[in-house]
């Protein structure tokens, strides 16, 4: 089977969140299952210095203009990764970042079209083109409405929804830049946005024109078909549920490989306390390792810090603020607690530190408002750190009350207290029960093998583009 992913992220080089890990983990595991897999991503300026050139002067379109692209190839632990470098006057991927530009929609429309143009020129026979989130969702309508007619040989287009929050809203003119006639797609049965009828919704286009749509956990698959979780697309997702499937993400078991036993976990705790200049103590140590974005309920993370301290515990936060307001809120907390030896707040992205935190903490607090899959609760369990989580999305699929962790339903302070207080008390007073929770978590299999087998079934089902 010949599978090509077209994506905006790929771990570990071009990573913003879980999408990057998923594309890498799934691609590698499908390779192990015997498939031929390639991942196409933009050639971002901040990575991939040692790639080999494979094609020059590939023309691709941005509205009426056509620009050259250089195509590069790099091998990442056996995985073939193809990089598209546009020679576009706007320097689309030389911005030192992946997302966050006012023209993000145009950048990824251009990339999606160029990636398909490359596959078309290469004249391979492809079984599956797998696209991800709003950023490459436009590939589905482009394939169906343009490239199949030109003769691109592809049987299926699979779209994975990693997060419904971002849907790629844009104007009819933006869509026309791709070569499709934007006006033709501004209808309710095509790509018209439900809440902003004058706008095009790229993710909606992906959902309609893909042969199969997957999302990253079974619970999230149910939630996105409801008005509460559907972000305006619930009716459409219910309508296409015959081709919609929730498949839980895995984690990279080689990368997240604890180098200690349960008995040695207390040494990791001491090492963490030492590293962050916390009091060396047996008090329960809670942590959060997260983007500090609205989705992650930053106010409840803040509350969890104070609640843990109130109950005699310690707290470590490694968080990346997603907005100036959230950054300010945590800087204030950090200042307020600067003399407190029971708390450490690191407002930065720090993967090596995160590994020590997963290893040294007793529990991890994840109060998300919604969580399509979530990786930290799985990584934490592998490292013997007990999750205290809101029962939503992938968190509800991977943490089991009293067996591997503690759950709460409502995303408010009372909810956090309900689960966190029980966890702190269990950790402090019920050593045997706590050890059992750790053992249960550490013995679970969160690898990519099972999810990849499920994706292979989707890749081989009978749905076809034509």
Task: State in angstroms the smallest separation of the CB of 349 from ligand ADP.
Answer: 4
Residues 184, 351, 403, 429: which binds ligand ADP (CB under 6 A)? 351
Give whichever of 216 and 426 is closer to ligand ADP, judged by the CB atom: 216
Task: State in angstroms the smallest separation of the CB of 21 from ligand ADP.
Answer: 6
Residues 13, 349, 400, 418: which binds ligand ADP (CB under 6 A)? 349
Task: State in angstroms the smallest separation of the CB of 182 from ligand ADP.
Answer: 31
Residues 7, 8, 9, 18: which binds ligand ADP (CB under 6 A)? 18
Angle between helices 413-429 and 431-442 (to 10 degrees): 110
**Residue partners of 119: CB distance under 8 A and separation at least 6:** 4, 40, 126, 129, 152, 154
Residue 447 touching ligand ADP (CB under 6 A): no
Phi-psi region of 280 (alpha: psi -120 to 50; beta: other; left: phi over 0): beta
Give whichever of 248 and 373 is closer to ligand ADP, judged by the CB atom: 373
Report the residue count for the chain: 466
Residues 124, 299, 350, 454: which binds ligand ADP (CB under 6 A)? 350
Q: What is d(CA 31, CA 305) in angstroms, rounded to the nearest whole number? A: 43
Build a one-symbol-per-residue string for 104-123: x at contacts with ligand ADP by CB under 6 A, - elsewhere: --------------------
Q: What is d(CA 355, CA 369) in angstroms, rounded to the nearest whole number? A: 25
Measured over the CA atoms of residue 8, residue 134, residue 59 and residue 174, the dihedral's sign is negative
**Residue partners of 102: CB distance under 8 A and separation at least 6:** none
Q: What is d(CA 193, CA 233) in angstroms, rounded to the nearest whole number? A: 9
Build a one-symbol-per-residue string for 284-313: x at contacts with ligand ADP by CB under 6 A, - elsewhere: -----xxx----------------------
Stretch that binds ligand ADP, among 67-75, 348-356, 401-409, 424-432 (CB under 6 A): 348-356
Stretch that binds ligand ADP, among 48-56, 170-178, 182-190, 350-358 (CB under 6 A): 350-358
Residues 354, 412, 442, 454: which binds ligand ADP (CB under 6 A)? 354
Alpha-carbon distances of 246 from 351, 373, 397, 458, rounded to whole Å = 28, 10, 11, 11
Task: State in angstroms the smallest separation of the CB of 222 from ligand ADP.
Answer: 18
| 3-state SS assignment for residue 216 | coil
Name the maximum alpha-carbon separation found in the chain. Answer: 70
Q: Which residues 363-382 are close enough to bind ligand ADP by CB under 6 A?
A: 373-376
Pairing between β-strand 200-201 and β-strand 212-215 as defined by DSSP bridges: unpaired
Q: What is d(CA 450, CA 285) in angstroms, rounded to the nearest whole number? A: 32
Task: State in angstroms the smallest separation of the CB of 10 from ligand ADP.
Answer: 14
Please give the residue ranges that form the binding site for ligand ADP (CB under 6 A): 17-18, 289-291, 318-320, 349-351, 354, 373-376
């Amino acid at each position: 089977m010949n599978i090509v992913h077209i994506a905006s992220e790929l771990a570990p080089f071009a990573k913003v969140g879980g999408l990057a890990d998923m594309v890498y983990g799934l691609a590698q595991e499908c390779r192990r299952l015997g498939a031929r897999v390639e991942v196409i991503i933009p050639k971002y300026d901040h990575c991939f210095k040692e790639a080999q050139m494979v094609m020059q002067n590939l023309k691709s379109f941005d509205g009426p203009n056509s620009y050259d692209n250089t195509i590069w190839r790099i091998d990442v632990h056996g995985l073939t990764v193809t990089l598209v470098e546009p020679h576009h006057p706007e320097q689309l991927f030389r911005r030192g970042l992946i997302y966050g530009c006012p023209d993000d929609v145009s950048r990824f429309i251009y990339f999606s079209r160029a990636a398909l143009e490359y596959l078309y020129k290469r004249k391979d026979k492809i079984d599956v083109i797998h696209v991800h989130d709003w950023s490459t969702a436009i590939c589905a309508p482009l394939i169906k409405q343009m490239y199949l007619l030109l003769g691109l040989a592809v049987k299926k287009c699979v779209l994975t929804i990693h997060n419904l929050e971002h849907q790629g809203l844009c104007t009819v003119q933006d869509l026309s830049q791709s070569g499709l006639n934007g006006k033709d797609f501004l209808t309710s049965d095509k790509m018209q946005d439900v809440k902003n009828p004058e706008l095009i919704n790229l993710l909606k286009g992906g959902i309609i024109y893909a042969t199969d749509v997957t999302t990253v956990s079974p619970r999230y698959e149910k939630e996105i078909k409801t008005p509460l979780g559907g972000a305006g697309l619930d009716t459409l997702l219910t309508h296409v549920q015959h081709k919609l499937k929730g498949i839980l993400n895995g984690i990279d078991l080689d990368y997240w490989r604890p180098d200690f036993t349960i008995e040695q976990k207390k040494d990791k705790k001491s090492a963490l306390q030492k590293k962050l200049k916390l009091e060396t103590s047996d008090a329960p140590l809670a942590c959060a390792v997260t983007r500090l974005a609205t989705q992650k309920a930053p106010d409840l993370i803040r509350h969890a810090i104070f609640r843990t301290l109130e109950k005699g515990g310690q707290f470590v936060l490694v968080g990346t603020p997603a907005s100036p307001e959230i950054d300010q809120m945590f800087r204030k907390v950090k200042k307020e607690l600067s003399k407190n030896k029971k708390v450490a707040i690191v407002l930065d992205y720090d993967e090596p530190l995160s590994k020590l935190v997963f290893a040294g903490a007793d529990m991890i607090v994840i109060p998300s408002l919604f969580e399509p899959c979530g990786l930290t609760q799985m990584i934490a369990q592998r490292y013997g750190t007990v999750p205290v989580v809101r029962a939503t999305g992938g968190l509800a699929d991977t943490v089991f009350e009293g067996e591997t962790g503690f759950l709460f339903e409502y995303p408010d302070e009372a909810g956090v207290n309900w689960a966190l207080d029980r966890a702190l008390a269990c950790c402090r007073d019920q050593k045997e029960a706590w050890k059992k929770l750790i053992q249960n978590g550490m013995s679970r299999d969160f690898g990519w093998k099972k999810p990849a087998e499920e994706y292979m079934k989707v890749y081989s089902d009978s749905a076809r583009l034509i």
